[in-house]
Amino acid sequence: MVGFKTSTLAALLSLAARSAAVPVVSEPTTTFTSEPAITPPVRPHTNVTEHGPYTGPSPTTTGAKTTTVVLAPSIPALPPGPDAFKYPSDGNLHAPLPAPYTPSGGVGTNGSAPVYRVLSDFDYESIALALYQEWIELDLFHWGLARFSEEDFLEAGLTAEDRFLIEHMANQEVGHATLLSNMLGPSAPQMCKYNYPVNTVREYIDFCQKLTRYGEAGVYGFLNHLNAHDVGQMLLQSITTEARQQLIFRQFEGLFPMPEWFQVGIPQSWAWTLLAPFISECPANQTRLVWQNYPALHILNQPNPLRINGSNVFNETVDKYTSTSSEEEIEEGESCLNATEVGVNCSPAITHNRTNSLSYPGRQVFLEWDEPGQLVGPNNSYVTNTTANPPVFAAWVSQLNVTYTPLQEIGHNKAWTIQPNMSTFEGDPAVNGTIFLVLTDLDLYVTPYNISMLNPHVYAVGMYQSG
């Protein structure tokens, strides 16, 4: 027996040596075939042919979905759990391995089959919100290709190949919407009608990069709080694609593709606040959402990336929620699109490094905000509201940071504040990229995992184009 093993080993080694000396080249062939795999169908969908504001009758149901009993006005802040510091984190193993090369612990690692269905109201409402987002992206990408001509895109520096990439991103949303619908079941929200504020290709691209930002950030904010971790895994594998879409739209706009070190996560109600105003009408049996709609925050001198000097602006936006940049007031010599100088040109590209920063620490930022009580969202059936006292702080929400700056000269729903100078880590300015700016009545200490604790203190929500 020993001799047999030895001789077999020698033969194998000899064969391996010959194989290394004379490589085998595989020749292509068409003689092999394979049966097609069974492919699940996508959720039925059609291109929305009607767009614009809601013009129907007054809604019979208004406000967010709720229950007759609400247990408390807010969730109390508690200390860390009893086991938060239990694990020694010393690099050693502290329990038997459940299988070879498998450390003990983890969630969903005991061999139980995943079922990919929501397990709580929190799960359902969060995934339903994400589905509303996927539906509007599917429509928005198709709408832009139909709304603007080939010549319009070419004037903005975007070719037929770029338009095909937008079409491909729309097709990705078909898959995302199907996935989330399947995990929710028959009551999953349906596609709606939408109202977009943009009039040019450049405005459209800016709107897309902002919409995909709050869609992405809204999921990051709740992903690790889901009861159904298997659902979270599937959602993670779709939202990472959406993050790449946001990067692509930044490149189409001539912005630096990823100026931040970390992506930001925001609570669901902030994402719903930014999304709902662009949904004009939904089917009568549409599943409603529980999330809050805050008043809009207007950033009066929102930086305009379509300009050579994007920080020297005032009232150049086309809407009050995302503060999407307007192209209307830009004279020919002020546009960075066709500028030839390096550091000034902002035509579509893999990357640009702008000479003139869109924003900077110490910049005076002028703000205006709406009163609560406005009708927004599908069929004008949601109502903006806040539980906060009048605002006294601006909260800059970016990467891993929430940084507060005091509001100055507050009066008649107007104020100004100063863009802060802080870093996530040394060398990484925290206020960079497309970030979120909210007004609060308290400078509550929160971190990325418990940022929703800030909700009762939020008065208005907006977006800031810092870089």
- DSSP states along 94-112: -S--SBTTB-S--SS-SSP
| pLDDT of 248 | 98
pLDDT in tens, 311-366: 999 999 999 999 999 999 898 889 999 888 898 999 999 999 988 899 999 999 99
**Amino acid found at 136:** I
Q: Residue 32's pLDDT band (boundaries 50, 70, 90)?
A: low
| Res. 19: pLDDT tops 50 | no
Instruction: Report the distance separating Cα 387 and Cα 127, nearest Å.
Output: 25
Closest to 263 (Cα-Cα) out of 433, 93, 27, 74: 433
Residue 368, strand partner residues: 298, 414
Per-domain residue ranges of the chain: 121-465
Instruction: Report the distance separating Cα 445 and Cα 198, nearest Å.
Output: 37
Taking CA atoms, 340 is separated from 203, 332, 333, 344, in Å, by 21, 13, 11, 7
Instruction: Report the distance separating Cα 26 and Cα 22, nearest Å.
Output: 13
pLDDT in tens, 168-219: 999 999 999 999 999 999 999 999 999 999 999 999 999 999 999 999 999 9
Q: Around 17, how many Cα atoms within 13 Å sit in the side-chain half-sphere?
A: 6
Q: Residue 68's pLDDT band (boundaries 50, 70, 90)?
A: confident
| pLDDT of 29 | 60
| Res. 415: pLDDT tops 50 | yes
Identify which has the larger pLDDT, 2 or 334.
334
Q: Give residues with Cβ within 8 angstroms of 297, minimum separation 6.
A: 320, 367, 368, 369, 437, 438, 439, 460, 461, 462
Q: How many CB atoms lie within 10 A of CB 149?
A: 11
Identify which has the larger pLDDT, 52 or 138.
138
| pLDDT of 426 | 95
Tokens standing for residue 382? 């949601």
Q: What pTM did the predictor assign? A: 0.90
Strand pairing class (414-418; 434-440): unpaired
| pLDDT of 77 | 85
